[in-house]
Amino acid sequence: MRNSPNRVAEYGRGTGIPNPIDVHVGKRIRLRRLFLGMNQETLATQLGVTFQQVQKYEGGSNRVSASRLAEMARVLDVPIPHFFAELPVEGKEPAARREERERMEQSETIDLLRFYYGISDETIRKSFIDLVKVIAAQSEA
């Protein structure tokens, strides 16, 4: 039973294991921060906390309060639901989806997206995508 007094907590306070939802929210904070090209110190300054606190939020070891999450959404220029998007159902995420998500969370993927959207000329962006497609096709061959 979920609320049984004899039930041992799987994660949370005292277990040393952060709640998976807190980890997910922390990853979404990190992804958005990196996508904006912002370092932890800058985010911390704008939130009025230390960069160590931002590290703990991003790792899920410290839970983000509702008011702090609202402030993060403002600073990172996203709606609050952004932090909960693609929240996997516990134990139900297919391996292929998990692998795709993990690839999207890699620093190089975030850099690629950030630099791509930094190209203001739409024609150059399209040429860049065409180039990447050609390289990928040659790599597969």
Distance between CA atoms of 55 and 17, rounded to whole angstroms? Answer: 16
Find the CATH number of the domain harbouring 63: 1.10.260.40
Is there a domain that residue 100 lies in? no
Is there a domain that residue 35 lies in? yes
Is it the case that residue 91 has pLDDT exceeding 80? no
Indicate whether 116 and 82 sit together in one domain: no
Is there a domain that residue 121 lies in? yes
What pTM did the predictor assign?
A: 0.74
Domain count of the chain? 2
Is there a domain that residue 31 lies in? yes
Indicate whether 52 and 84 sit together in one domain: yes
Indicate whether 86 and 139 sit together in one domain: no
CA-nearest of 9, 5, 19 to 90 is 19
Indicate whether 65 and 121 sit together in one domain: no
**Residue 90: which domain range?**
1-95
Q: Residue holding tokens 């220029």?
A: 77
Q: What is the pLDDT of residue 5?
A: 58
Whole-number percent of the chain with pLDDT over 90 = 55
Indicate whether 87 and 130 sit together in one domain: no
Distance between CA atoms of 138 and 92, rounded to whole angstroms? Answer: 35
Indicate whether 12 and 69 sit together in one domain: yes
Which of these ranges, 27-31, 61-65, 73-77, 88-92, has the smallest mean pLDDT? 88-92
Q: Residue holding tokens 């039930």?
A: 7
pLDDT tens, residue by residue, 10-21: 876 777 788 889
Per-residue pLDDT, averaged over 10-35, amounts to 88
* Angular region, 77: left φ>0, alpha ψ -120 to 50, beta rest: left
Indicate whether 116 and 70 sit together in one domain: no
Is there a domain that residue 26 lies in? yes
Is there a domain that residue 2 lies in? yes
Q: Which residues contact 26 (CB under 8 A, 6 or more apart)?
A: 57, 58, 59, 60, 64
Indicate whether 37 and 84 sit together in one domain: yes
Instruction: Please classify residue 105 by burial: count the beta carbons closer than 10 Å to its beta carbon, then call 0-12 exposed, 13-18 middle and 19+ buried.
Output: middle
